[in-house]
Structure 1
Amino acid sequence: MSIQLLVTSFLLCSLPLIFVFYIFTKTTKAKRSSPTSNNLPKPYPIIGHFFHILSNRNQRFDWTTSVLKNALSATYTFYPIQGLVQIWTANPSNVQHILKTHFHNYTKGIHFRTSLFDILGNGIFNVNGDSWKFQRQISSHEFNTKSLRKFVEIAVKTEISERLIPFLSAAAANKSVIDFQDILQRFAFDNICNIAFGYDPAYLLPSLPQAEFAQAFDDSIRISMDRFKEPFIWKVKRLLNIGSEKRLKVAVSQVHEFAKNIIRDKRQELQEKPSSESMDLLSRFLSSGQYDDNFVRDIIISFTLAGRDTTSAALTWFFWLLSKNPEVEREILSEISGKSDTPDFEDIKEMVFTHASLCESMRFYPPVPVDGKSAENDDVLPDGTVVKKGDGVIYSPYVMGRMESIWGKDWEEFKPERWLKKEEGGHGEKWSFVGRDPYTYPVFQAGPRICLGKEMAFLQMKGVVAGVLRRFKIVSAVEDGFQPQFVASLTAKMKGGFPYIACKVQLQKIFPSPNPCSKDLNLKDVQAQAQMLT
């Protein structure tokens, strides 16, 4: 009997058990849905919302947004066919309850932990309780040191000036269409590897190399996230060592082998020179002598994941929105015109309008569009929704960024000014930033698990924005009216990449309209290149 036939037979034999289980879950849990209004998807007997979810799988977040907009208190309970109850909410009071007030009751559930364990192990993003608290304490100490901030600042400046700008200059000279999403991912990967490992993968080179570690890391994350789509099937495939699970095993082995070699070399390096000369995170953890290699490996892989995919995703969507909002671009250019070519930390702190624009961009396209927890015990959310032990409780920054109840009737407008207020200063009026409650804008999480790298992320993003925009006009290489598809995995990406063409300009010449690059570009040629790229 072939393996495929064996798997099929096994699944068919399991259907009666699934049927019985769903009868049970339907009769015991159906009454626990939060208060709802009309125009909401109704669960069917036995299969729950399976067909609703299946038919909207390619627009899951937009569909969920419409559901929560119609649900009273912006909370709704879904019943996937697997039997796991999923309570989705875009209610800030519920989010605060989950992330802060009752933090102890909402943890990384077994489903989340097992799905990501192969790649993240017992790293900080995949553990709870005392293990999480310990990693959080030591990480918080390191992230708050001035020396690390300075090290990050130097690493970002170096990658921008020595890799990103030269690459864009060459592309502009050749009038080449590039996938800016790929370029930003390469930039972020080089950057975070330098910060986390003190290792340069040289991923953003003119040849755009396929680095083995980067590819293995990509495969590990992608296949691990695919497990959430097939929570039963992947375990069967792993047991039989077939298909995607076989590929995952190879990819994770490559990542772990790479990390092991880096840790070994770093230990040797630290024996040969004072630890004060090595400022990367790996050196800091190893220098203490308190942690074994597996602990260090898991926590560093977690930070590599967080630092690489989130900033590149945020910047990709930011530049897309900027290409559609030239008035915002002009305001940012006005702000950076007085800054140096490679702004330092103090310059970046003063880039208030740029900061607001990035926040507004992440409101629409948060790098991590959804986050889920598992209830350890029965509970009741502030809006009255009943939660039972083991239920999944999910909040979505993507959905919350589109709620009129939070952002007002103009929520559809890309409007950085909603984050700003004008104040009188020594030289006339100037903008000052007005932050939002993290429970209405949980892009960086909130409560005890709030993102440690938030300041580092803004330093990197604002450095890229200033470095790129003062030298280039980034021209979208797709037809007018094209809307890229939002694809959510562990982080948000643009389906098919982001075709751009970089046009080199002088900063002072970019302000007028029309586009100063248009006379140098053949739109038909550009769009043809873009189509080939995607």
Structure 2
Amino acid sequence: MDINIVSAMLYSMALVLVALSIAFVLLLLKIFTGKSLRTSKYPPVHGTVFGQIIYFSRLYDYQTGVARRSPTFRLLAPDQSEIYTVDTRNVEHILKTKFEEYTKGEYNIDIAKDLFGEGIFAVDGDKWRKQRKVASFEFATRVLRDFSCCVFRKNAAKLVKVVEELSAASEIFDMQDILMRCTLDSIFKVGFGVELNCLEGSSKEGRVFMKAFDEANALIYWRYVDPSWKLKRLLNIGSEARLRNNIKLINNFVDQLIRTKRNQLPAQRERNDKEDILSRFLLESEKDPENMNDKYLRDVILNFMIAGKDTSANTLSWFLYMLCKHPLVQQKIFDEIKEVIGDQVSEANADYFVEKITDLVLDRMYYLHATLTETLRLYPAVPADGRCAEADDVLPDGFHVKKGDGVYFLAYSMGRMHNIWGEDAEDFKPERWLKDGIFQNESPFKFVAFNAGPRICLGKDFAYRQMKIVSIALLRFFRFRLADETRPVTYKVMFTLHIDNGLHLHAVPRLAA
């Protein structure tokens, strides 16, 4: 090779290295300058947000370890501090007491907007209030309650038949994947009025959509620890190129759904048929077509997707995992099903049996409700969430917050704090939620699985109904055990708490009672 070419290449490499070194030094200066490191007024510093990449695969357990030493602590970011807390007083402060002074913040919005746009979980102010108003009206209607329960029962029966076939063949199966497909079918029917049929495997498009959505969820979360994500997005390389491809698939699928629903709307209006949530938003969009356009509707759909699919399927997956680890709890739930439903529990036909899961039955399943809630305490569907300070403030624990700082509450860590839940905080103990056999609620600022304050989850009761109907149907017909007791089960770090690499189970049919 010509000596001049080699020299030019070495010179170019040297320039690149110098540029990267300068960029790194500037990044460090930006991270550490103006962060009040020498005063105890602010929470103690435990590194930078980019340092989390070292612990990323076990991030929530790492945060738990830090929070045990420092219940409120800081990680430094280029433009602000990110404050993390497990102090229930601080949680109530940012979610309720000073609600108007803590917003989603530009930092969080910038990271999440490519996937969630201006949906209800990613916006503040009037945009949030408008979506909240429409959604809260819909969730309050008896029509949606009855319609959703009908859908949940129908899909629970389908789920039993799918597991029945796998059990008969003595197959090991990924229960999380099956539950994801089941809840996807349910949210598409209840939320958007569409039969997706993903559970039974007839919808290839639905499976592709689900895979793209889950990957996009994880890739968006990766941005929190990746200092180069904006550059990669600009150059369309690496994780950002994969994210862009997934979002394209998602948008194409959702755009087709919106077109279909728009075409159906005139017929629905004639029949006064507005059972699903999307139809309600479509009708509202006619009042303000400029702002409530197709992009707005896409954002609404994807935000309801993560609320309706991921949270319920994740919780049911962790629930079944905990039942496999605690077979006596699994048996207690089956005993409660027999006690509450009575002779109908002996019915061997899934379609007939699920019709017996009425509102009265659901209301009396105290131990099941406690077990699902205990699952959420230890494995919250959203393991970490937070807000951004719009003004300088002082938290109830005495630490100061600067305008622009993020304040995050660590739901996963809070469930493991002895000062919140007692010395047995890390034990799976449904009985902690019962008094004389009756379920007892805790403060939403202590049990934050459904958020709290004005932004508390509208779909909380909706989620419990779905999870209880599915649980009753599955546990009536099967005992579950892990396919491999020695295989570690842990989470995948993303916005919602997925089990990494799935939940592999055996299902053993129960004999008729």
When normalised by structure 2's length, the TM-score is 0.88
Q: 1:186 maps to what in 2? A: 181
Q: Distance in 1 between matches of 2:218 and 2:150?
A: 31
Q: Distance in 2 between matches of 1:352 and 1:239?
A: 52
Paired residues of 1:369 and 1:488 also in contact (CA < 8 A): no
Selected match of 1:391 from 405, 410, 413: 405
Q: Distance in 1 between matches of 2:377 and 2:16?
A: 43
Q: 1:64 maps to what in 2? A: 63
Amino acid across the alignment from 2:466: Q
SS at match of 1:25: coil
Paired residues of 1:275 and 1:287 also in contact (CA < 8 A): no
Paired residues of 1:375 and 1:389 also in contact (CA < 8 A): yes
Paired residues of 1:213 and 1:258 also in contact (CA < 8 A): yes
Q: Distance in 2 between matches of 1:249 and 1:51?
A: 22
Q: Deviations over 1:119-156 (max 9, x none)?
A: 11111111011111121111111111110111111111
Q: 1:249 maps to what in 2? A: 244
Answer with 87-96 or 200-209: which moved more: 200-209
Selected match of 2:234 from 239, 245, 258: 239
Q: 2:3 maps to what in 1? A: none
Query: How much does 1:445 deviate?
Result: 0.2
Amino acid across the alignment from 1:256: N
Amino acid across the alignment from 1:443: A
Q: 1:32 to 1:393 in 2, by over 3 A?
A: farther
Alignment of 1:227-376 (within 5 A): 227-230=223-226, 232-273=227-268, 274=270, 276-288=272-284, 289-290=286-287, 291-337=292-338, 338-339=340-341, 340=344, 341-342=353-354, 343-376=357-390
Paired residues of 1:119 and 1:252 also in contact (CA < 8 A): yes
Amino acid across the alignment from 1:15: F
Selected match of 2:416 from 381, 384, 402: 402
Alignment of 1:427-506 (within 5 A): 431-480=437-486, 482-506=487-511
Answer with 384-393 or 233-242: which moved more: 233-242
Query: How much does 1:22 deviate?
Result: 3.8
Query: How much does 1:464 deviate?
Result: 0.9
SS at match of 2:132: helix
| Aligned-residue identity in percent | 37
Query: How much does 1:373 deviate?
Result: 1.3
Query: How much does 1:314 deviate?
Result: 0.5
Query: How much does 1:410 deviate?
Result: 1.8
Q: 1:208 to 1:275 in 2, by over 3 A?
A: closer
Query: How much does 1:70 deviate?
Result: 2.0
Amino acid across the alignment from 2:76: Y
5+ long unaligned stretches in structure 1? 37-41, 423-430, 509-534
Amino acid across the alignment from 2:298: R
Q: 2:29 maps to what in 1? A: 20
Query: How much does 1:473 deviate?
Result: 0.9
SS at match of 1:87: strand
SS at match of 1:335: helix
Answer with 163-172 or 5-14: which moved more: 5-14
Query: How much does 1:352 deviate?
Result: 1.0
1:411 aligns with 2:425: yes
Q: 1:282 to 1:456 in 2, by over 3 A?
A: same
Q: Distance in 2 between matches of 1:326 and 1:190?
A: 29
Q: 1:281 to 1:361 in 2, by over 3 A?
A: same
Q: Distance in 2 between matches of 1:19 and 1:297?
A: 38
Q: Distance in 2 between matches of 1:307 and 1:127?
A: 18
Selected match of 1:175 from 170, 174, 186: 170
Paired residues of 1:322 and 1:328 also in contact (CA < 8 A): yes
Q: Deviations over 1:174-208 (max 9, x none)?
A: 00000111111111111111111112222212579
Q: Deviations over 1:344-368 (max 9, x none)?
A: 2221111111001100111111111
Query: How much does 1:372 deviate?
Result: 2.1
Q: Distance in 1 between matches of 2:398 and 2:40?
A: 10
Q: 1:453 to 1:30 in 2, by over 3 A?
A: farther
Q: Distance in 1 between matches of 2:170 and 2:76?
A: 51
1:95 aligns with 2:100: no
Answer with 340-349 or 86-95: which moved more: 340-349
Query: How much does 1:244 deviate?
Result: 2.5
Selected match of 1:31 from 23, 26, 39: 39
Query: How much does 1:226 deviate?
Result: 1.8
Q: 1:237 to 1:271 in 2, by over 3 A?
A: same
Q: Distance in 1 between matches of 2:16 and 2:122?
A: 30
Q: 1:173 to 1:354 in 2, by over 3 A?
A: same
Amino acid across the alignment from 2:367: F
Q: Distance in 2 between matches of 1:375 and 1:145?
A: 35
Amino acid across the alignment from 1:255: I
Q: Distance in 1 between matches of 2:162 and 2:313?
A: 16
When normalised by structure 1's length, the TM-score is 0.85
Paired residues of 2:43 and 2:400 also in contact (CA < 8 A): no
Alignment of 1:70-81 (within 5 A): 70-71=69-70, 74-79=71-76
Q: Distance in 1 between matches of 2:381 and 2:303?
A: 16
SS at match of 1:175: coil
Answer with 496-505 or 93-102: which moved more: 496-505
Answer with 289-298 or 457-466: which moved more: 289-298
1:154 aligns with 2:150: yes
Q: 1:122 maps to what in 2? A: 118
Amino acid across the alignment from 1:488: V
Q: 1:155 to 1:138 in 2, by over 3 A?
A: same
Aligned pair count? 482
Q: 1:199 maps to what in 2? A: 194
